[in-house]
Structure 1
Amino acid sequence: MKIDLKRRLGLALGALIAMTLPAAAEGICEKRDFDGQGYVVCTLNAAQEPGLKLWLNDANGRVLGDFYSVRKTLAPDEVLAFAMNAGMYHEDYSPVGLYVSEGTKEHDIVTAGGGGNFGMLPNGVFCAGGDKPYRVMESRAFAKAQPECRLATQSGPMLVIDGDLHPRFLIDSDSRYVRNGVGVSPDGQTAWFAISDRAVTFHEFGRLFRDGLGARDALYFDGSISRLYAPELRRSDFGRRLGPIIGYTGKN
């Protein structure tokens, strides 16, 4: 099977980084099969929440846009254990909805409906920190409750809402993309970040979180542009420049 140059470079970079991955960053991402589809799932527990980070711009206000640029922002004793795109963005890479990084809000929440996947209500917010390590909430409920978040990113649609799949997902849909998103355990102690190996429907992807992982709430990040950095799996995806990026850093 022919592998394109960008994919080959990504695999080579991932292999090089995997050789130096510290113990603190091991055992986070794994390949999983569910209902005939392949996925990569990166799992964080409550104790790992402080290492979760959200990036958009560098210190000079320039959009980072890729995993290599994110790695350059890290301290000498930090290593990027995994990362993926984390929500929809405009042509200038600014977030479409709520964006909070290290307690600083850079874009307000959007509760109105609209076109595209983001506007397919209900959409939602992923939040880390506060009185629970992790949570995914429907956007209007989030705006009303205003929970404390160390970091937060809004996207849409919701994949799983209080144990149910989004009402607009169709079993026989012909809309298929490589998709990524995040789900949270019912007690808020575990977060699962997942990306499909190949094109899947919303229904298939939602079922991964609800039936395969046990998430009571899950949020779609994006499709077709979805990218993953997982050196433990010797993977560093190249492609279109990204807006918000989420990932976990461990100590060397």
Structure 2
Amino acid sequence: MRNFKVILPAVFLLVLLGLLLPLARQWAEGGPFISYRADLRRTPLRLYWKDDHNQRFKSLEGLKKWLDARGQKLVFAMNAGMFDPGFAPQGLYIEARKTLVPLDTTSGPGNFYLKPNGVFYLTADSSAHICQTADFRNDGRVTYATQSGPMLVIDGRLPPAFRAGSANVQIRNGVGILPDGRVLLAMSRKKISFYDFASYFKKAGCRQALYLDGFVSRSYEPAAGRPQTDGDFGVIIGVTAPKQ
């Protein structure tokens, strides 16, 4: 009986440890969010839609293979905006200074048209910006841009339409600008409300943040044990580095 009493707590502790380790590992890897902070002064970041044969990359694996063949390593990637049934970007899309899809200022159903929506864009001086759609102007220095919606953080505040405890939950990914100018790319690990997702960007210090997409979202971050390579997207945002 004494042996039984000694063994039982030990077994209980092992079971408890087995339950807690995955949770501890998740928090160590960034908790409920997968994220990457990109310093554009040191890290190449751009948007991708089609290759040099005018074929859509489709998946994160498709982009990875294309970059591999060109001596580039994909460091982090995720889908970068909504798309129509033909997988063309929904709303503004600029690539290498060329406007391939014009700005969409109309109204309609769905998350894209939740006002205010906005634009994430990069400029020739290697800086990143997010603004509301109505405020976007291309002065010829915009190198890449993707439009989406809704805005998650506007001048440091959450949109008033977002409510704590909302039952509208989904896997979500988005982009924000940190106080030091770095780009915060993030995806939720589980279904989450707009309020909670936007709060993540606000707590990180982002004064502007933009929702990119929902349940189709995928992220590629092999350094953190997140090498998702599937998906079927329109535009993809990717951070690269030269292959060693």
Do both proteins adopt the same fold according to a TM-score greater than 0.5, normalized to the shorter chain?
A: yes
Aligned partners of 2:104 and 2:141: how far apart in 1? Answer: 17
Which consecutive residues of structure 1, in runs of 5 or more, have no partner in the other structure?
1-29
Question: For residues 69 and 240 of structure 1, do their structure 2 counterparts lie closer, same or farther at Cα, with a shift above 3 Å needed?
Answer: closer
Across the aligned residues of Structure 1 and Structure 2, the Cα RMSD in angstroms comes to: 1.7
**Equivalence for 1:104:** 98
Report the 3-state secondary structure (helix = DSSP H, G, I; strand = E; otherwise coil) of the residue aligned with 2:41.
helix
- Confirm or deny that 1:192 pairs with 2:184: yes
Larger displacement relative to structure 2 (198-207 or 123-132): 123-132
Structure 1 residue 103: Cα displacement: 1.3
**Equivalence for 1:251:** 242
Report the 3-state secondary structure (helix = DSSP H, G, I; strand = E; otherwise coil) of the residue aligned with 2:197.
helix
Q: Which runs of 4+ in 1 moved over 3 A?
A: none
Which of 142, 150, 167 is equivalent to 1:174?
167
Aligned partners of 1:173 and 1:209: how far apart in 2? Answer: 18
Which of 227, 234, 238 is equivalent to 1:236?
227
Question: For residues 132 and 235 of structure 1, do their structure 2 counterparts lie closer, same or farther at Cα, with a shift above 3 Å needed?
Answer: closer
**Equivalence for 1:163:** 156
Tell me the matched-pair count: 215
Which whole-Å deviations, capped at 9, do the CAs of 1:169-195 have from their partners, x for residues lacking one?
A: 1112101111100000245x2110000
**Equivalence for 2:114:** 120
Q: Name which one, 1 or 2, has greater alpha-carbon Rg.
A: 2
TM-score (normalised: structure 1): 0.80
Q: Kindly provide the amino acid, as one letter, of the partner of residue 136 in structure 2.
A: F
Structure 1 residue 205: Cα displacement: 0.3
**Equivalence for 1:44:** 38
Question: For residues 57 and 94 of structure 1, do their structure 2 counterparts lie closer, same or farther at Cα, with a shift above 3 Å needed?
Answer: same
Question: For residues 158 and 221 of structure 1, do their structure 2 counterparts lie closer, same or farther at Cα, with a shift above 3 Å needed?
Answer: same
Aligned partners of 1:146 and 1:112: how far apart in 2? Answer: 22
Structure 1 residue 147: Cα displacement: 6.8
**Equivalence for 1:209:** 201
Which of 90, 95, 98 is equivalent to 2:89?
95
- Confirm or deny that 1:136 pairs with 2:134: no
Report the 3-state secondary structure (helix = DSSP H, G, I; strand = E; otherwise coil) of the residue aligned with 1:122.
coil
Aligned partners of 2:101 and 2:133: how far apart in 1? Answer: 14
Larger displacement relative to structure 2 (95-104 or 174-183): 95-104
Determine if contact 1:84/1:229 at 8 Å carries over to the other structure. yes
| Percent pairwise identity | 35
Aligned partners of 1:63 and 1:206: how far apart in 2? Answer: 30
Structure 1 residue 58: Cα displacement: 1.8
Structure 1 residue 239: Cα displacement: 4.8
Structure 1 residue 233: Cα displacement: 1.7
Aligned partners of 1:199 and 1:250: how far apart in 2? Answer: 31
